């Protein structure tokens, strides 16, 4: 049993980005633990998305929705007021600029102005609201894209291994550089204001979701008997179950010694191994063409810090099987 599971005290948690993939999973987990939740959504969030949040068990009594734009100074003041902790799950990747121009086609000036800094400033805006409200416990969802130094070590850890944002920009990876710049800015802010902050670094997140548009499209296609990919990529992917990621958020929030970066992954597997397990689960599924060349090694992770949180994680075969089984129940089909 995790420390989070043992904790039965009801607290008030603000979840910035409650209608997103991670945010809605966090909202579900917090309500399950008996916490009061103050969830923020963008002003243009449709009532259908809010409806899925309001339909969660416990939402009638313990969920309050706030409209907040991370680009507007002070927009999160009301949602963070009285909160014991803040979970920032609203920093979704941005792949296009204001005109629709892809990030990979930009120069550094435009990449910083339209891809990187809106997210960085948005995160700092939420942090300033939390600070004004006296919040001292914050957990942020980032990405493993901030842990890719060049050259990449055979085994990565969260403390020593950072991406070089300048190198990422030179490679036109402005979306990835956003996470690196954002994390560094957030840690500076937390240090200046004596905030205990944890940052989680996931990649592919699977498992039961709160809203239908968050279902993984590839697995959904396979469950329908349709192909996911034409060819197996010759690289690896890091995977975690959304429910386990939420449990890790809560463990970091509730553990007074938890701070810093944590990998939000169970492990990384080569895509060929992923499809081998999927073939066992669905023997009749269409298998993509084999990858070309010698099979590359999967990304290696040092799991020490992640394991220190005491959360038991589902392994990749279990994640894949449970996700497929859940999709096959047609969970969002009206009776």
Q: Which of 213, 65, 85 is nearest to 139 (CA)?
A: 85
Q: What is the pLDDT of residue 48?
A: 84
Look at the domain 9-207+238-267+302-313 and name its fold: Rossmann fold (3.40.50)
Phi-psi map region of 207: left, alpha, beta (phi>0 left; psi -120 to 50 alpha): left
pLDDT in tens, 117-157: 999 999 999 999 999 999 999 999 999 999 999 998 999 99
6 pLDDT band, cuts 50/70/90, is very low
Sketch the domain layout of the chain as residue ranges: 9-207+238-267+302-313
Q: Which of 90-99, 240-249, 291-300, 303-312 has the lowest mean pLDDT?
A: 90-99
Q: Are 212 and 332 in contact (CB under 8 A)?
A: yes
pLDDT reported for residue 8: 57
Core vs surface per residue 117-145: b (16+ CB within 10 A) or e: bbbbebbbbbbbbbbebebebbbbbbbbb
pTM reported for the whole predicted model: 0.94
pLDDT at 334: 55
pLDDT bracket for residue 52 (50, 70, 90)? very high
Q: What is the pLDDT of residue 45?
A: 75
- Which tokens is 173 given? 């990876």
CB–CB of 16/234 below 8 Å? no
> Is 70 exceeded by the pLDDT of residue 335?
no
Confidence at 10, pLDDT banded by 50, 70, 90: confident
pLDDT in tens, 263-321: 999 999 999 999 999 999 999 998 999 999 999 999 999 999 999 999 999 999 999 99
Percent of the chain surpassing pLDDT 70 = 97
What are the residues facing 263 on neighbouring strands? 201
Location of structure tokens 């296009």: 96
Angle at 189 between CA 185 and CA 192, to 5 degrees: 140
Residue ranges of alpha helices (H) inside the chain are 3-6, 21-32, 47-54, 59-62, 77-80, 108-111, 117-132, 165-170, 174-192, 217-223, 242-254, 271-281, 304-307, 316-328
- Which helix (H) or strand (E) segment holds residue 235: the answer is none
Report whether pLDDT(5) > 60.
Answer: no
pLDDT digit string, tens, across residues 135-146: 999 999 999 999
* C-alpha to C-alpha distance for 335 and 206, rounded to whole angstroms: 25
């Amino acid at each position: 049993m995790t420390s989070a599971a043992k904790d039965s005290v009801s607290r008030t948690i603000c979840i910035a980005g409650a209608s997103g993939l991670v945010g809605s999973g966090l909202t579900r987990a917090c309500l399950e633990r008996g916490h009061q939740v103050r969830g923020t959504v963008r002003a243009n969030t449709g009532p259908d998305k809010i409806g899925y949040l309001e339909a969660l068990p416990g939402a009638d009594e313990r969920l309050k929705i706030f409209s907040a734009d991370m680009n507007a100074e002070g927009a999160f003041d009301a949602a963070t007021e009285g909160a014991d902790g803040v979970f920032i799950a609203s920093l979704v990747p941005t792949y296009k600029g204001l005109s629709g121009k892809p990030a990979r086609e930009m120069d550094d000036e435009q990449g910083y102005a339209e891809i990187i800094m809106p997210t960085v400033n948005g995160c700092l805006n939420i942090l300033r609201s939390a600070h004004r409200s006296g919040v001292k416990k914050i957990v942020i969802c980032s990405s493993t894209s901030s842990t890719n130094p060049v050259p990449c070590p055979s085994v990565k850890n969260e403390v020593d291994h950072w991406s070089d944002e300048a190198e990422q920009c030179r490679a036109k990876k402005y979306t990835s550089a956003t996470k690196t710049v954002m994390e560094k800015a957030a840690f500076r802010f937390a240090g200046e204001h004596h905030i205990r902050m944890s940052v989680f670094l996931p990649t592919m997140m699977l498992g039961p979701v709160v809203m239908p548009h968050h279902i993984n499209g590839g697995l959904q296609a396979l469950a329908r008997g349709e192909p996911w990919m034409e060819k197996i990529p010759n690289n690896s992917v890091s995977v975690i179950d959304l429910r386990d990621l939420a449990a890790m958020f809560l463990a970091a929030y509730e553990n007074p010694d938890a701070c810093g970066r944590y990998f939000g992954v169970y492990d990384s597997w080569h895509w060929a191994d992923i499809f081998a397990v999927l073939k066992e689960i669905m023997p009749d599924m269409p298998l993509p063409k084999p990858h070309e060349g010698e099979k590359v090694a999967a990304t290696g992770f040092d799991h020490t810090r992640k394991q220190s949180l005491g959360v038991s994680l589902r392994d990749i075969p279990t994640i894949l099987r449970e996700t497929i089984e859940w999709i096959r129940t047609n969970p969002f089909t009206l009776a």
